[in-house]
Amino acid sequence: MKRHNLAENLAKFYLREGRGASLVGFLVDAFKMVVYVGGAVIIVQNKFGIVIPSWVIPAAGIAYIVGCFILGWIDEKLGFWKFQNNYSSKELTPFFEHMDAKIDKILHMRV
């Protein structure tokens, strides 16, 4: 019984770590966008003498987050992620499609 609890706890830890890493990755990407824009502002100011307001730098991070949200929303509405999942399960790992069909067959036999 202890092994089951240890495996269950390890599985929960692994899933939580994956979700947390995904969120941290999103925040790191937004921070990188701010750094990139800050670097571009410095280059433009030094090379061309054009003064860019300082509010542009954090606005780029916010624009990145909003842009990612809008792209995700469009993806959700168009159903592109469904096509990706279907392609993945049918073409790349056909075993799972056969497994799903067998499970459905077993479930229907019980009814």
What's the pLDDT tens digit per position in 31-41? 898 899 999 99
Q: What is the CA radius of gyration of the chain?
A: 23
Report the predicted TM-score, pTM, of the whole model to 2 decimal places. 0.58
What's the pLDDT tens digit per position in 80-108? 777 877 777 777 766 666 777 788 888 88
